[in-house]
Chain A
Amino acid sequence: MARKESKVGEGQRLKTSLQWLIAVAALSSSWQALADWSALNMTKGVTAISREVYDLHMLIFTICVVIGVLVFGVMIWSMLVHRKSLGHKPATFSHSTKLEYAWTIIPIFILIGMAVPATSTLRDMYDASGADIDIEVRGYQWKWQYTYLSDDPTQEVKFISSLLTPPDEYYNRTPKREHYLADVDNPLVIPINKRVRFLVTSNDVIHSWWVPDFAVKKDAIPGFVHEAWAVVEEPGIYRGKCTELCGKDHGFMPIVVKAVEQAEYESWLAMKQQEALQVYETVGKTWTMAELMETGEQVYTQACQSCHQANGQGIPPAFPSLVGQGLAIGPIDAHIDIVVNGKAGSAMQAFAAQLNPAEIAAVVTYERNAWGNNVGDLVQPRAVNALISSEE
């Protein structure tokens, strides 16, 4: 009698647990309806490769779910039925050679089923045939530099791409706008339907250049140049991130790639080349203190602020203060030298590779005359240019 009662009780319990399961499933499916699918799964992306990767992901995911459901199903069934409280007597078996062979060999075939499409996708990704456009992607703490390589050095276009979101937004002083932490000042622009090759490297620590929509993730490693490529099929703006811990602002160096029609790309490139020429001209002219200070503040915000801070106080000891001490109020030649050449063994980069002579002159002038540093002297772009040329 007691036994029977407990069975009824168990049956009831089974029913309740089934109801629970259904409730949980319903809840999770309503969550799915609420949540945007793109917030839950990998992107399909906009290249043939990224779609291949997505299909591969869904294939292995499905296989894993099926295996999980089968194994957990057996375990849960067993837990519901083979209970002492139901009076279930333990069996005595502890070996089954046939079964053990089966569950050693069958998984090997499943694995082969996964390895074959994985190998073919990987071979497609590693296809190293020529490219229409070569772009060098160089990681810096904490921004990216893009160089459109060309056989003619005067045609080369080179610029820095860094975070657009102002500190006020991430320190919660102003509302967060759309594309929070996902927007940059100068996006990388590429034409659609062209094979674009990315030559990825780094100037300081290891970064990793990831654009999910292209299924491209390559580590940017100092001393190495790695290649990746993409043929983007649809115009649009694609956002990516740095995915290798690279220091304090690892989370603040997004990637934005703008894919455009060929004609638009060509006019953009021509505009950039024109800009580069204009820079050469500005180097020759004589700048006023006010001009240098104005440009200097902009350059400081873009290139220096993340370490030395907006108020120049830095974050000692890693990032020294520039206010009322050190090179910023010392001999001007040493000040220019550290900005141009950086400081070995520290996070201070050689900015000759990132800034043009006018920008370097402006920022040095700014640092010597801001935050109460009233040194009063200024440096002209042509002097910086002469220094850089003499070193080369």
Chain B
Amino acid sequence: MSAVIENHHDDHHHGPDKGLMRWVLTTNHKDIGTLYLWFSFAMFLTGGCMALVIRAELFQPGLQLVVPEFFNQMTTMHGLIMVFGAVMPAFVGLANWLVPMMIGAPDMALPRMNNYSFWILPFAFSMLLSTLFMEGGAPNFGWTFYAPLSTEYAPPSVTFFIFAVHLMGISSIMGSINVVVTILNLRAPGMRLMDMPLFVWTWLITAYLLIAVMPVLAGVVTMMLMDIHFGTAFFSAGGGGDPVLFQHVFWFFGHPEVYIMILPAFGIVSAIIPTFARKKLFGYDSMVYATASIAFLSFIVWAHHMFTVGMPIAGELYFMYATMLIAVPTGVKVFNWAATMWQGSMTFETPMLFAVAFVILFTIGGLSGLMLSIVPADFQYHDTYFVVAHFHYVLVPGSIFSIMAAAYYWLPKWTGNMYDETLGKTHFWLSFVGVNVTFFPQHFIGLAGMPRRYPDYALQFADWNMVSSVGAFIFGFSQLLFLFIVIKCIMGGKKATDEVWDGAEGLEWTIASPAPYHTFSTPPELPERAMA
């Protein structure tokens, strides 16, 4: 092992290039992973600022800061940027950094395509953000862009939105193909599929989901484009089309999409909890099967987002039962994490804090999801703040917390320095309090009857909206601390050992810290764990 690495310390020809062109032309999986992660963080702050505009407006009843037209642009852009700009690229960045190191591969299988799939993104998002400055404003029809609001009634900038979505889709598909090809072809000799770390497994499954549904998204926006510019009427009732068709096609993409944003998180947490519990992950096999079941189920439950569109009762019942089934594999995962912690020898460094908070808060989001699957009750929940609370619980303390856990967990490996533990814990507790103060009251607001995407509200919702806004500002500004911690860690700090964490297992902990520019140019011999 160590012989491999030492060889590379001497090999100056394969070090990074100097200057800006290093980042533009790079085909190195670590560089590209870094680019993805920084890009994602920039988008996270951008989308976060939009969320703060929304929460500031909702701090009190009445229109104080923005007009409803702009409020709708903010909700739309916040959703699009967080989903496509923050969460997805962060997971792709983590995959770039970690998948080759975890499977003992020298790089991603298709390095040039890797470069393209990243560099498409800044153009896609520049195009999307530029719509804010266009006449008529940015897209204002929600991130779910239901027709005909997004076609016949859309602002002119919708065409830019459509092309931006196309570009994001191309980037995602290329990125996923790369992940699949890398995992299936470049594993270290002797590493069977069932030996792979769960992060690799969850990403393999996620990549298949992406390849399956991104073309569906591309299809639906292309149909919109045709409706808007080329005289078709796919979604126009006046022309013989069907507005509900839009929702079926969109959610056939949209439901797997939400699992795309959570499966890699499952993989991250499954790596972190065993490390800090100093105990092997409980039920590895069932974790893999549960992930695969969730992925399969994600394709057959889409219309649970559409219980109020007037489906026949048979349709409602089918989608309710199928959706409830998802609770089973998801439950298996949560029970496995709890069982991994049980009888462990736990310490609570920042990654573990984020991981444990993930399990608890994601489960709260999962339970409210189960409530939402019950059709008659969903008629009362649908499109209220109860839904907003639900999906933010699975996305913010779910996906985002897992990404932060991952950043803290692997940062010493990436930079060679330990992050500041005290600041890390401060960041965790501020985020934890902020997230709950923001989103927990939204359950109440929703049950009491406040619909989502409202720029202003009746007086009975005032108290909890104010609480929620305060929480949002706490959470938002805490992320600047995260930025500071990461920069501080890159600049210096206590040197990290190669193992970094005393309970950590996996090939990435066998290489030096910081990870050399090239790793595993010759395949590693597998440690015992992987051969077991």
A151-159, A238-246, A331-339 - interface stretch = A238-246
In the complex, which residues of chain B have a beta carbon less than 8 angstroms from the beta carbon of A219? 308-310
Among B430-469, those with CB < 8 Å from A are 444, 447-449, 451-461, 463-464
On chain B, the residues within 8 Å of A30 by CB distance are: none
Residues of B within 8 A of A115 (CB): 320-321, 324
Whether A216 and B379, one on each chain, are in contact in the complex, defined by CB atoms closer than 8 angstroms, is yes
* A100 with B448: CB separation less than 8 A: no
Q: Whole-angstrom distance from the CB of B100 to the nearest CB of chain A?
A: 26
| B338 adjacent to A82 (CB under 8 Å) | no
Give chain B's interface residue range (CB within 8 Å of chain A): 35 or more
List the B side residues contacting A169 at CB < 8 Å: 62
Residues of chain B contacted by A315 (CB below 8 angstroms):
69
Task: Check if A39 sits within 8 Å of B335, measured CB to CB.
Answer: no
A78 to B337, CA, bound (A): 12
Taking the closest CB of chain A, its distance from the CB of B86, in whole angstroms, is: 22
Contact B308 A74 (CB under 8 A): no
A53-B380, A181-B458 known; 9 new pairs, CB 8 Å cut-off, are A82-B342, A91-B344, A93-B282, A114-B370, A170-B63, A218-B310, A221-B310, A247-B72, A247-B149
- Complex contact A122–B375 (CB within 8 A): yes
Q: A206 at interface (Cβ–Cβ under 8 A)?
A: yes
1/0 contact trace for A240-278 toward B, CB 8 Å?
Answer: 011111111111100000000000000000000000000
Task: Return the contact of B146 from the options A35, A206, A252 (Cβ within 8 A).
Answer: A206
The verdict on A217 contacting B380 (CB below 8 Å), with A39-B463, A100-B286, A347-B153 known, is: yes
Identify the closest chain B residue to A54 (Cβ).
B380
By a CB distance below 8 angstroms, the chain A residues around B2 are none
Whether B310 and A243, one on each chain, are in contact in the complex, defined by CB atoms closer than 8 angstroms, is: no
A-facing residues in B178-209 (Cβ within 8 Å): none
Give the residue among B237, B360, B364 with the most A Cβ atoms within 10 A: B237
A88 within 8 A of B: yes
Instruction: Determine if B344 and A205 form an interchain contact, defined as CB atoms under 8 angstroms apart.
Output: no
Known contacts: A90-B343, A107-B328, A118-B377. The answer to whether A206 contacts B384 by CB under 8 A is no
Given A40-B447, A176-B61, A217-B379: A85 in contact with B370 (beta carbons within 8 A): no
B278 contacts the other chain (CB 8 A) = yes
Q: Are A317 and B135 in contact (CB under 8 A)?
A: yes
Q: In the complex where A121-B376, A248-B140 touch, is A68 in contact with B363 (Cβ < 8 A)?
A: yes
> Is B148 close to A, CB under 8 A?
yes
Binary contact readout A62-90 vs B (1 if CB under 8 angstroms, 0 otherwise): 00100110011011001100111100111
Distance in angstroms from B80 CB to nearest chain A CB is 14
Min Cβ gap B131→A in Å is 14
Q: How far is the CA of A121 from the CA of B447 in the complex (A)?
A: 19
Complex Cα gap A35–B444 (Å): 11
Interface: B283 (CB within 8 A): yes
* Total interface residues in chain A, CB < 8 Å: 99
If A60-B374, A243-B383, A317-B135 touch, whether A119 touches B317 (CB-CB below 8 Å) is: yes
B149 touches A53 (CB 8 A): no
Q: Which residues of B contact A241 (CB under 8 A)?
A: 449, 451, 454
Provide 11 A-B residue pairs closer than 8 Å at the C-beta atoms, listed in order of the A residue: A42-B448, A60-B374, A61-B371, A82-B344, A103-B331, A107-B328, A176-B61, A181-B61, A181-B457, A204-B148, A218-B308
Contact flag A250-B324 (CB < 8 Å), given A74-B338, A217-B382: no
A180 contacts which of B320, B339, B359, B459 (Cβ < 8 Å)? B459
Known A218-B308, A345-B152: A71·B384 in contact at CB below 8 Å: no
- Asked if residues A208 and B308 are in contact (CB atoms below 8 Å), the reply is yes
Cα of A88 to Cα of B454 in the assembled complex, Å: 51
Stretch touching chain B among A222-230, A359-367, A381-389: A222-230
A132 is an interface residue with CB less than 8 A from chain B: no
B141 touches A245 (CB 8 A): yes
Contact with B along A91-109 (1 / 0, CB 8 A): 1111110011001100110
Q: How far is the CB of A106 from chain B (nearest CB, A)?
A: 9
- Tell yes or no: B522 within 8 A of A by CB: no
Bound-complex Cα distance A250 to B148 (A): 15
Query: Smallest CB-CB separation from B149: which chain A residue?
Result: A205
User: B residues within 8 A CB of A123?
Assistant: 313
Binding site for A on B (CB under 8 A): 61-64, 67-69, 72, 135-136, 140-142, 146, 148-149, 152-153, 155-156, 237-238, 241-244, 277-286, 308-310, 313, 316-317, 320-321, 324-325, 327-328, 331-332, 334-335, 338-339, 341-348, 356, 359-360, 363-364, 367-368, 370-371, 374-377, 379-380, 382-384, 444, 447-449, 451-461, 463-464
The docked-state distance in angstroms from the alpha carbon of A83 to that of B347 is 6
Is A179 an interface residue when CB atoms closer than 8 A count as contact? yes
Complex CA gap A72/B63 in Å reads 40
Q: Chain B contacts of A297 at CB under 8 A?
A: none
Name the B residues within 8 Å of A84 (CB-CB): 278, 345-347
Residue in B closest to A205 when the chains form the complex, CB atoms: B149
- A57–B371 Cα gap in the complex (Å)? 8
Please count the residue pairs between chain A and chain B whose beta carbons lie under 8 angstroms apart in the complex.
Answer: 286
Interface residues of A (CB under 8 A from B): 35-36, 38-43, 52-53, 56-57, 60-61, 64, 67-68, 71-72, 74-75, 78-79, 82-85, 88-96, 99-100, 103-104, 107-108, 111, 114-115, 118-119, 121-123, 125-126, 141, 169-172, 176, 178-182, 204-206, 208, 210, 212, 215-219, 221-224, 226, 241-252, 315-318, 344-347
CB-CB nearest in chain B for A141: B153
Asked if A318 and B136 make an inter-chain contact with CB atoms under 8 angstroms apart, the answer reads: yes
Give CA–CA (A78, B63) in the complex, Å.
48
Q: Which A residues are in CB contact (< 8 Å) with B155?
A: 318
Q: Are A118 and B375 in contact (CB under 8 A)?
A: yes
- Residues of B close to A216: CB separation below 8 A: 379
Q: Is the CB of B460 within 8 A of A248?
A: no
B451 and A210 form a contact (CB under 8 A): yes
A159 to chain B, nearest CB (A): 23
Output the least CB separation between B321 and chain A (Å): 6
CB of B147 to closest CB in A, whole Å = 8
Instruction: Please determine whether B363 and A71 come into contact, CB atoms closer than 8 angstroms.
Output: yes
The reply to whether B376 and A83 form a contact with Cβ atoms under 8 Å apart is no
Contact A99 B339, beta carbon cutoff 8 Å: yes
Complex Cα–Cα for A330 and B166 (A): 43
Interface residue from A40, A111, A141, A250 paired with B328 (Cβ < 8 Å): A111
Q: Is the CB of B156 within 8 A of A317?
A: yes
Do residues A172 and B344 form an inter-chain contact, with CB atoms below 8 A?
no
* CB-CB under 8 A for A93 and B343, given A67-B367, A115-B321: yes
- Tell me whether A92 and B280 are in contact in the complex, defined as CB-CB below 8 angstroms, given that A57-B377, A115-B324 are known contacts: yes
Q: Are B449 and A215 in contact (CB under 8 A)?
A: no
Tell me how far the C-beta of B23 lies from the nearest C-beta in chain A, rounded to whole angstroms.
39
Q: How far is the CB of A112 from chain B (nearest CB, A)?
A: 9
Q: Are A71 and B153 in contact (CB under 8 A)?
A: no
Query: Known contacts A222-B237, A315-B69; is A38 also within 8 Å of B448 by CB?
Result: yes
* A224 surroundings in chain B (CB, below 8 A): 237, 243-244, 310
Do residues A246 and B383 form an inter-chain contact, with CB atoms below 8 A? no
Chain A residues with CB under 8 Å of B452's CB are 243
Sorted from nearest, which 8 A-B pairs have the closest CB atoms? A223-B237, A226-B310, A91-B343, A251-B454, A94-B280, A64-B367, A243-B383, A222-B237
Q: Distance in Å from the Cβ of A288 to the closest Cβ of chain B?
A: 38
- Whether the Cβ atoms of A40 and B313 lie closer than 8 Å is no
The verdict on A103 contacting B460 (CB below 8 Å), with A82-B341, A251-B454 known, is no
Quick one: given A72-B360, A217-B308, are A82 and B346 in contact (CB under 8 Å)?
yes
Q: Which residues of A contact B356 (CB under 8 A)?
A: 75, 79
Contacts of A39 in B (CB 8 A): 444, 448, 460-461, 463-464
Q: Contacts A84-B278, A119-B317, A221-B243 given: A71-B335 contact, CB under 8 Å?
A: yes
Of B156, B313, B383, most A-chain CB atoms within 10 Å: B383
- In the docked arrangement, what's the CA distance between A31 and B452, Å? 24
Is the Cβ of B456 less than 8 Å from the Cβ of A125? no
The interface residues of chain B lying within 8 Å CB-to-CB of A119 are: 317, 320
